[in-house]
Amino acid sequence: MNAIIISALWGIIMMFSGIVTSKGSALRNAAVLGLLLLLTGNYLDLIGYHFFPVDVHKMLFFDSFGLLANTIIFGATLIYVLLSGREIENIAARMPVAECFALIFFVLCGVSLVTTFNTLLMLFIGIEIISIPLYILTGSDKRNLKSNEAALKYFLMGSFSTGLMLLGIALLYGASATGTFSIDDLGVGKANLSALYISGLLLLLVAMGFKVSAAPFHFWTPDVYDGAPTVFTSFMATIVKAGIFIGFIRLFDETFSDSQARWQLFVAIITAVTLFIGNITAVFQQSVKRMLAYSSIAQAGFMLLALLSINGLAKEGILLYAAAYSLATIGIFAVLIKMKDYTFEGFNGLAKHHPVLAATCTIFLLSLAGIPLTAGFFAKYYMLAAVIETGHFLWLVIFAVLCAAVSVYYYFRVIQAMYFKDGDAQALELRPGFKGLLVVVAALILLLGVFPQVVLDRLHGLVYTW
């Protein structure tokens, strides 16, 4: 509860702080302060101090899985703001910085609803609170046609999927014996599942699949990610996606775990298609930004493996995956924003001019590819192990690793460009603080990759006691 209220309040504060000051650095510091507050508030929630004793009538349920997910999301946002917050000022001359930050906080509010929802209505509201600020942020580069197009496309497609979601929820409501939205009661006693129930479930699957850009509902992703200002692409592709994924897992784990046998095949097919399309299309991209958009689809495919298996390992794993993926992708985007040229050629010879940038970027890319010693390895390990533990879908596991091998191709193209090709990659001016933070993020990834136990121990205890 702490997180939801603090993020909403701080969003409003940020919005009005624009009246007091329009100085970027002050606003940025305010945002950082807000995020620290959020992290603390969330942590206190986790250990049992609740600032706001509101009776939520079981609409929300604050378990450690959701709260832990919040911690990861807020932590990633903090790193994101510290690394790329400065870029928000550079988007467009007339875009008020304060409002951008306010919108980010509203998104976080939505995410914390999605990670802790207990009825489908709350899920719906959470998803909407996430989506609407994102439409604005996507179009925030007002004079740029690509940005406008992206925002419109995102809005239309997003509204459509929201409609599907509502329909699904309505059907589920109708199918339930007692007329309830609560995910505790929906799935219970459904030995003979009605067609109503199954169609509702599938509609929800499609709607959520759209939000996490699972194929074949991914068509908006490359255009929106490419068109949106890079700094917000970074936010959407990591924090938002991870947050929605947590909700996705929560929904299927709590509500539909009894009927797993009926939807598993659908999820398996969606996963396979997502992995295939994401990875294969990423190979053909010429722009690193677009490649990252497709890579985010591919990574979503891997995260869908957790949805497929829905067990202890999967829940632990999705948290680790969210952390590993967000950290690495935020890092790469932070570097990408500093580049003058977003194509692969633009990275040629970066290692010569900016060794720190190139070295940290390499670690991020290795992590995304899932090479041992990095956090990405254990993230992928968990996903694979979760599916193997179910004892089925071995073909999918093999398919997934073949796709992971394909992903090496496009991630390593950036490494090759940076290290082995000659050229003079142009980067904008870099502050020492920025480089230092990049090194910290890289170190964090390596730490998670060598001693994931530091995090896992906590996860293990928390997820299993839940």
Partner 1 sequence: MIPVLLIAIPLAGGLAGFFFKNSQSARGWSLFVSLLALVVSLWGLSVGAKSPLLNADVEWLPGLGSRFAVGLDGMGQILCLLTAVSFPVIFIATWRNEYRKGWNFYALMLLSQAGLMGVFLAMDALLFYFFWELALIPVYFLCSQWGGEKRIQATFKFFIYTFVGSLLMLIAIIWLYSHTPDHSFSIKSFYELRNHIGGGEQLWLFWLFFIAFAIKMPIWPLHTWQPDAYEQSPTATTMVLSGIMVKMGLFGVIRWLAPVLPVGTWAWGDTASALCIIGMIYASLVAIQQDDLKRLVAYSSIAHIGLMCLAIFATTASGMQGVMIQMFNHGINIIGLWIVIDLIERQMGTRKMSELGGLAQKAPALAILLVIVALANVALPLTNAFVGEFLLFSGVFSSKATQYNVVFTVVAGISIILSAVYTLNMIQRVFFGNTNALTEKAKDIKLNEKVVLAAIVVLIVVIGVYPKPMLSLTKDTVDMIITKMNYKL
Q: Which residues bind partner 1 (CB under 8 A)?
A: 366, 371-373, 381, 384-385, 388-389, 394, 397-398, 401-402, 404-405, 408-409, 412, 416, 419-421, 452-453, 456-457, 460
263 in Cβ contact with 123 (< 8 Å): no
To partner 1, the closest distance from the beta carbon of 411 in angstroms equals: 11
Query: What letter does residue 304 receive in the DSSP assignment?
Result: H
- Backbone φ and ψ for 138, nearest 5 degrees, come out as -60, -40
To partner 1, the closest distance from the beta carbon of 369 in angstroms equals: 8
- Strand locations in 4-142 (E): none
**What count of Cα atoms within 13 Å lies in the side-chain half-sphere of residue 76?**
34
Q: Which one-letter amino acid corresponds to residue 374?
A: T
Query: What letter does residue 239 receive in the DSSP assignment?
Result: I
375 in Cβ contact with 452 (< 8 Å): yes
Q: What is the DSSP string of 32-75?
A: HHHHHHHHHHHHHHHHT--S-----TTSB---HHHHHHHHHHHH
Query: Between 222 and 317, whose beta carbon lies closer to partner 1?
Result: 317
- Backbone φ and ψ for 24, nearest 5 degrees, come out as -60, -45
Beta-bridge partner residues of 117: 60
To partner 1, the closest distance from the beta carbon of 222 in angstroms equals: 24
116 in Cβ contact with 67 (< 8 Å): yes
Query: Between 266 and 412, whose beta carbon lies closer to partner 1?
Result: 412
Neighbours of 346 (CB within 10 A): 19
Q: What separation in angstroms does the CA of 90 have from each of 44, 78, 95, 230, 344?
A: 36, 19, 9, 11, 23
Query: Between 75 and 370, whose beta carbon lies closer to partner 1?
Result: 370
To partner 1, the closest distance from the beta carbon of 160 in angstroms equals: 37
**Strand, coil or helix: 238:** helix
Query: Between 176 and 295, whose beta carbon lies closer to partner 1?
Result: 295
Query: Between 384 and 444, whose beta carbon lies closer to partner 1?
Result: 384
Angle at 339 between CA 287 and CA 300, to 5 degrees: 50
To partner 1, the closest distance from the beta carbon of 158 in angstroms equals: 35
Tokens encoding 419:
């290290």
Identify the CA nearest to 383 among candidates 237, 249, 201, 183: 249
Angle at 72 between CA 66 and CA 76, to 5 degrees: 145
Query: Between 211 and 413, whose beta carbon lies closer to partner 1?
Result: 413
To partner 1, the closest distance from the beta carbon of 47 in angstroms equals: 21
To partner 1, the closest distance from the beta carbon of 399 in angstroms equals: 11
To partner 1, the closest distance from the beta carbon of 294 in angstroms equals: 18
To partner 1, the closest distance from the beta carbon of 381 in angstroms equals: 7
Q: Which one-letter amino acid corresponds to residue 1?
A: M
To partner 1, the closest distance from the beta carbon of 213 in angstroms equals: 24
Query: Between 283 and 428, whose beta carbon lies closer to partner 1?
Result: 283
Query: Between 21 and 416, whose beta carbon lies closer to partner 1?
Result: 416
Query: Between 1 and 417, whose beta carbon lies closer to partner 1?
Result: 417
Neighbours of 390 (CB within 10 A): 16
Query: Between 218 and 380, whose beta carbon lies closer to partner 1?
Result: 380
Query: Between 173 and 381, whose beta carbon lies closer to partner 1?
Result: 381
Q: Using CA atoms in the order 158, 159, 165, 166, what is the torsion angle rounded to 10 degrees?
A: 160
To partner 1, the closest distance from the beta carbon of 28 in angstroms equals: 34
Tokens encoding 178:
């007692």
Q: Which long-range contacts (CB under 8 A, 24 or more apart) does 127-130 make?
A: 127/162, 127/165, 127/211, 127/244, 127/247, 128/162, 130/240, 130/243, 130/244
